[in-house]
Homo-oligomer: A and B are copies of this chain.
Amino acid sequence: MDGLNMSRRIRRTPYTDRVEQMGVRGFSVVNHMLLPKSFQASVEEDYWHLREHVQIWDVSCERQVQIKGPDAAALVQWMTPRDIGKARVGDCLYVPIIDANAGLINDPVMLKLSEDRFWLSIADSDVLLYAMGLALGRGLDVGVSEPDVSPLAIQGPKAEDLLAGLFGEHIREIGFFKYGWIEFQGTRQLIARSGYSRQGGFEIYLEGGHLGTALWDAIWQAGQAFNIAPGCPNLIERIEGGLFSYGNEMTRENNPLEIGLGKFCTLDGSVDYIGRAALQKIASEGITQQICGVAFDGAPCPTCSKPWPVMVGDQQVGQITSAIWSPRLESNVGQAMIAREYWAAGQSVAVHSQDGETRNGEVSGLPFE
């Protein structure tokens, strides 16, 4: 971890004041905005707490790209291989976005707000500029904008009890990847059962940054009875859980099929979208690599800030893109792109970590059990 120089360009969020007061120990930068990365003495402590209690996460960097107007549904459909035709108001859909070569541009969650208004809750690339370019180029009748919406995630097994007590029992009825509404200080706010962990929880899409501190404080106060702590997406939990990160596990070099996103891709020709021909060709020829888990031995591995070669003998058969020590599995765990001939679970490999070590490892499925 090295120093991050602050400037206006690296945008603060409505919750940054509170995050700093609570002792954040580091940030990342996503969508030109601060994302906290650690609070407790270690990522391990954050991990154990998340699995047992409840955490409040500033995920404002999940910016919303609002697409609104008569051509909104057509534009969103053009951007993704997933069939959005059956989506209903109240649904959240994971919608990979691909380019003309089927390379991944982003993997947002789409929230259908009405028949002509959508939010794309994006990972780290300027989907707003892409959507704006498509709309201008094709002359579509839509507005593309970034509303003043800053998601706050409440994650962990106690999240539902905490939020039901604070905002009403009705939130228990919200299904997975569905959204509902809560009242806060005279405003109506969107709440979804979603989040970047496997421990359950919700995301509140706060509209109105001026309410950020008040929302944080209300949840923090009610959370005292649940042993709440400040937190953030946890690298151990996400690697174990098989949650992928755009820019790490997938880039424009990757197609959605090799990332295991085939179930979100319509390949039968019933839906038209950018990259369809390329994706159909890849599907018919079969993918040549696939995302897998790799558990590997040795001391806790260093930070993975560049791909690590995965070897079988003298041959590179893949690369690890994220890795960390799992205190629960008592092993290093990584997410890796592995060539077809070697992706079967149980394949022995060697991992060249960036500290110069060579470590023995084994390919597995995801999530890690």
A169 vs chain B, min Cβ distance (A): 38
- A192 close to chain B: CB less than 8 A: no
Residues A136 and B136 in contact, CB atoms below 8 Å apart? no
- Specify the chain B residue showing the minimal Cβ separation from A75: B137
Complex alpha-carbon distance, A1 and B5, angstroms: 5
CB under 8 Å from chain B, chain A span 304-357: 304-307, 321-322
- A86 close to chain B: CB less than 8 A: no
Query: Which among A9, A125, A131, A246 has the highest number of chain B CB atoms within 10 Å?
Result: A9
Query: Which B residues are CB-close (under 8 A) to A137?
Result: 133-140
- Specify the chain B residue showing the minimal Cβ separation from A30: B9
Query: Which B residues are CB-close (under 8 A) to A132?
Result: 99, 130, 133
A353 vs chain B, min Cβ distance (A): 13
A150 vs chain B, min Cβ distance (A): 15
A272 vs chain B, min Cβ distance (A): 13
Query: Which B residues are CB-close (under 8 A) to A126?
Result: 125-126, 129-130
Complex alpha-carbon distance, A5 and B247, angstroms: 14
Known: A3-B38, A9-B28. 11 other contacts (CB 8 A): A1-B3, A1-B4, A4-B28, A5-B28, A7-B303, A9-B245, A12-B305, A133-B133, A133-B137, A134-B134, A135-B137
Q: List 10 A-B contacts (CB under 8 A).
A: A2-B26, A5-B37, A8-B248, A8-B304, A8-B321, A9-B245, A99-B132, A130-B132, A133-B134, A134-B136
